[in-house]
Amino acid sequence: MSIDWLLIHSPALIIAIPLFAAFTMPLIKKLGNKTRNGVAFATVLLIEILVIMLAKDVFASGARSYVFGAEPGLTLPSGYIVPIRILFHVDGMSAFMAIISATIALVAVIYSLKFMEKETALDRYYLLLLLMMVGMFGMEFTADLFNMFVFLEVLSIASCGLVAYRIHLADAPEGALKFMVISSIGALMVLLATGFLYGQYDALNIAQLAKELQFNFIDKIALVLLLGAFAMKCGSFPMHQWVPDTYSVAPAPISILLVVSTQVSLYALFRVVFTLYGISSNVVVVGWYLIVLGLSTLFIGVTMAIPQKDIKRLISYLGVSQIGYMLIAVGVGFSLFANPVEFEIYGFRAIEGGIFQLINDSMYMGLLFLVSGALYYRIGTRNLDSMGGLARPMKVTSICFLIGSLAIAGIPPFNGFASKFMIYETVYRFNPIISIVAMLVSVLTLAAMFRAFSAAFMGPSLPEFKEVREVPKSMILGMVILASIVVFFGLFPSLIVDNLVEPAVRALISRPSYIISLLGG
């Protein structure tokens, strides 16, 4: 098995390996808990390595397609004739998203080793976690609208099972039920839109549809359904209310995977806007739709975060708010799409800021959720009013929380500042008021995080926490990995923007090259 073979088949392997590992989990558990944990860890580590290899190749040599069910001679995109086979297409944007998903999944499994130790039926926990990965990678790699629906369902069902995993907690089944209802309705809308497009064009392939799209009445209905469903799934206002209900009750390692799953929905939204409909629609209207959605999400998210007493609900609302930054940045870029001069000067940079914010958000949100999990692990509550003085016994945890808090508030030199700086500056040129609101939201975010930090970690040692000590090493490792990424991305933003973000944005906005690379010239 050579490296080339691995690279060629990596899009399929990245889906197949966790899928295989997931369904063998009930058998592996017979070999003992350590073997089960070892297999789960080895799987996510292998996937991380494969994703990095694939991403490196895609960034260096261009997009990579993988055809399932084709004749051997027709596996290359240039041999593509009729869009009847299942296609995976990994371009810069897909590879970028896969890096986020694989890294967060690796951290989630490392953290889970100790965090979930006291729970039962962990084979099912790892089974569902690996299925979540399958759903995420599938949505990122697929070049087919129907398969996107299938992977969305895989992701939603696995997520729902994991949200309800700690069924002995009263609020877990409630959060899972809400998530299930809202996900099912969203997925049905995606299916309906897919059906409308299939009925018209006899195609499910995104590139084929993008090529043939006439933007008629039915196409517009499909666009409305897709925009609504994915905007809801990514937690934008006013459809954000399921986010705190779900994130706060899930186990902390699952909360961080849920953050990535909402970002995958955001990716799907961007794919619909940029690749499927692209320049053929009125870019100014769609751009402003994203901006208005983003502004309202920003403001409502942060103002709802401030009065929260539950630390995970507070972080969840801030997570909602952070989605707003990405929507605004990409909306500004998209609305300048039809104006090549302005797009080149700052539109492209605005989208880069939004996409950079996406990876940064997954890292600091992940870090904050892991810290909240560490607090819950030691003191058994999420209520900020019951906490205090925990910085003394939990030094590493408190430092990690401080790093995450400063990053989410956009304080230099952490990663949140770098991406927000790009967004403020480019959006200011488009419309100064939007930029000022975004900066005000950053100040409110800092206020909300200061409240949480002050309540949980500062103040005198409380007598009820006399016995509290630092969390186990695997949990610390999970937090330190994310904290290191937050600091590294903040200190070397150009390294990330030039090597990861720019190729991703170029792939996202170049609709013709997506179509040509799949359908041929």
Binding site for other proteins (CB under 8 A): 177-178, 181-182, 185-186, 189, 215, 217, 220-221, 223-225, 227-228, 231-232, 238-239, 241-242, 245, 281-282, 285-286, 289, 300, 303-304, 306-307, 309, 345-346, 349, 384-385, 387-389, 412-413, 417-418, 421-422, 425-426, 429, 447, 451-452, 454-455, 459-463, 490-495, 497-498
Q: Is 142 helix (H, G, I), strand (E, B) or coil?
A: strand
For the bound state, the minimum distance from the C-beta of residue 182 to other proteins, rounded and expressed in Å, comes to 6
Q: Which is nearer to other proteins, 184 or 513 (CB)?
A: 184
Minimum distance, C-beta of residue 521 to other proteins, in the bound complex (Å): 29
Least separation in angstroms between residue 504's CB and other proteins is 16
Structural contact between residues 133 and 18, judged by C-beta atoms closer than 8 angstroms:
yes
- Which residue number, 79 or 340, has a Cβ lying nearer to other proteins? 340
Using the minimum distance from each CB to other proteins, give the nearer residue, 29 or 382: 382
Q: Are 215 and 281 in contact (CB under 8 A)?
A: yes
Alpha helices in 458-492 (DSSP H): 473-491
Q: Which is nearer to other proteins, 26 or 228 (CB)?
A: 228
- Return the number of the residue (79 or 413) whose C-beta is nearest other proteins: 413
- Three-state SS at 67: strand
Select 82 or 345, whichever has its Cβ closest to other proteins.
Answer: 345
Neighbouring C-beta atoms of residue 379, cutoff 10 Å: 19
Residues 314 and 449: their CA atoms lie apart, in Å, by: 9
Backbone angles phi, psi at 383, to 5 degrees: -80, 120
Candidates 375, 393, 374; CA nearest to 479 is 374
The least CB distance from residue 479 to other proteins, in Å, is 22
Distance between CA 109 and CA 253 in Å, rounded?
7
Contact 256, 366 (CB under 8 A): yes
CB of 473 to other proteins, least distance (A): 29
Euclidean distance between CA atoms 239 and 413, whole angstroms: 33
For the bound state, the minimum distance from the C-beta of residue 147 to other proteins, rounded and expressed in Å, comes to 23
Smallest gap, in angstroms, from Cβ of residue 425 to other proteins?
5
* Closer Cβ to other proteins, 110 or 232, answer by number: 232
Show the tokens assigned to 286. 């769609």
- The least CB distance from residue 115 to other proteins, in Å, is 24
Rounded to a whole number of angstroms, the minimum distance from the CB of residue 253 to other proteins is 25
- Give the Cα separation of 196 and 201 in Å (integer): 9
Residue number, 84 or 491, with CB nearest to other proteins:
491
Cα angle 256-262-263, degrees, rounded to a multiple of 5: 90
**Amino acid identity at 82:** V
Residues in CB range of 187: below 8 A, 6 or more apart: 149, 152, 153, 156, 229
Token pair 């001069």 in the structure block, residue:
341
Cβ neighbours around 512 below 10 Å, total: 11
The CB-of-236 to other proteins minimum distance in angstroms stands at 9
Cβ distance to other proteins smaller for residue 12 or 468: 468
237 DSSP assignment: T
CB 463 within 8 A of CB 59: no
Whole-angstrom distance, CA of residue 253 vs CA of residue 125: 11
Closest CA to 207 of 277, 283, 102, 284: 277
Cβ at position 386, least distance to other proteins in Å:
9
Whether residue 287 contacts residue 335, with contact meaning beta carbons closer than 8 Å, is answered with yes
Is the CB of 90 or the CB of 315 nearer to other proteins? 315
Residue number, 124 or 451, with CB nearest to other proteins: 451
Q: Please state, as a whole number, how many other Cβ atoms lie within 10 Å of the Cβ of residue 25.
A: 22
